[in-house]
Structure 1
Amino acid sequence: MIRVAAAIIENGQRQLLIARRKKGKSQEGMWEFPGGKIEHEETAEECLKRELREEMNIEIEPYAYFGVNDHWYGETHIRLIAYRAGYVRGEIRLVDHDEYVWVNPRHFGEFTFAPADVRFVEMLYH
């Protein structure tokens, strides 16, 4: 099982940050809540701070556990752990994504999300 963390980051306009996986990455072209693989002996919160610094050049502060979703991509078992997080500072610079957008959850239907993220999309939309 691969443990992965996802950040549900809200801005002052109650929009959430989502990003599209770039070509050549698994789930390319699909949208997701940013995050990444949790390293050995790292908490999900620590992972999110590190990953968002590395992959988007921003600082965030995870503040509330949101949920967990177990998903299988073929034989690969992913445990996606989501946290709500506040945006602290930094100008977004993309590394593993080719586009990002701040979006109101009621517009999530306009985006194709990675299957592991869909449960959280549904939780936020309803």
Structure 2
Amino acid sequence: MKKTIKVAAAVIQNENNEILCALRSPTMSLPNLWEFPGGKLEEGENAREALVREIEEELDCKIVAGDVIADIHHEYEKVIVNLISIKAKIVSGKPVAKEHAEFRWVPIRELESLEWAPADLPTVSVLIR
């Protein structure tokens, strides 16, 4: 039986109605695919707590986590990812690509133009609707 990994992802929107998208680096699993930034939940954390911690670690920003947009289970070859996408707002700092190859602010209507990690696609669909 495959292991399930719980992951929280931030859907951060700016005042121009653009979403912060992160390009996975060539050394990460699923290299060079776009995703919403975030990371794995640690023991005892809920999704919002994990997201605040992960965004501070990955982007060097402080956020406030809001409503859940999507709660997806996606089966990859070796694992099942339970991706919980959460609306978030940056309250201090500017995003810095510490782990990702790059970040990009993308208008919602252009999100489909990026090549996304499969688990993130349902969230993209929700945002476009």
TM-score category of the 2 structures, normalised to the smaller one: over 0.9
Using the TM superposition, give the Cα deviation of residue 110 of structure 1 relative to its aligned residue in structure 2, in angstroms. 1.7
Q: Specify the SS of the correspondent of 2:124.
A: helix
Alpha-carbon distance in structure 2 between the residues aligned to 1:2 and 1:91: 28
State the percentage of identical aligned residues: 37
Using the TM superposition, give the Cα deviation of residue 63 of structure 1 relative to its aligned residue in structure 2, in angstroms. 1.3
In the alignment, is residue 108 of structure 1 matched against residue 111 of structure 2?
Answer: yes
TM-score by length of 1: 0.96
TM-score by length of 2: 0.94
In the alignment, is residue 46 of structure 1 matched against residue 54 of structure 2?
Answer: no
Alpha-carbon distance in structure 2 between the residues aligned to 1:7 and 1:45: 9
Structure 1 residue runs of 5 or longer lacking an equivalent are: none
Alpha-carbon distance in structure 1 between the residues aligned to 2:94 and 2:11: 17
Structure 2 letter corresponding to 1:106: R
Alpha-carbon distance in structure 2 between the residues aligned to 1:34 and 1:86: 13
TM superposition outliers: structure 1 runs of 4+ over 3 Å: none
In the alignment, is residue 120 of structure 1 matched against residue 120 of structure 2?
Answer: no
Q: For residues 55-98 of structure 1, what are the alpha-carbon distances to aligned partners after superposition, in whole Å with 9 as ceiling and x for unaligned?
A: 11011101111110100111311100111011111122212201
In the alignment, is residue 88 of structure 1 matched against residue 74 of structure 2?
Answer: no
User: How much is the aligned-residue C-alpha RMSD, in angstroms?
Assistant: 0.9
Kindly indicate whether the alpha-carbon contact (under 8 Å) linking 2:67 and 2:86 is maintained by their aligned counterparts in 1. Answer: yes
Kindly indicate whether the alpha-carbon contact (under 8 Å) linking 2:8 and 2:84 is maintained by their aligned counterparts in 1. Answer: yes
Structure 2 residue runs of 5 or longer lacking an equivalent are: none
Structure 2 letter corresponding to 1:24: T
Aligned to 1:10: 13
Q: Specify the SS of the correspondent of 1:78.
A: strand
Aligned to 2:100: 97
Alpha-carbon distance in structure 2 between the residues aligned to 1:70 and 1:91: 30
Aligned to 1:77: 80
Aligned to 1:33: 36
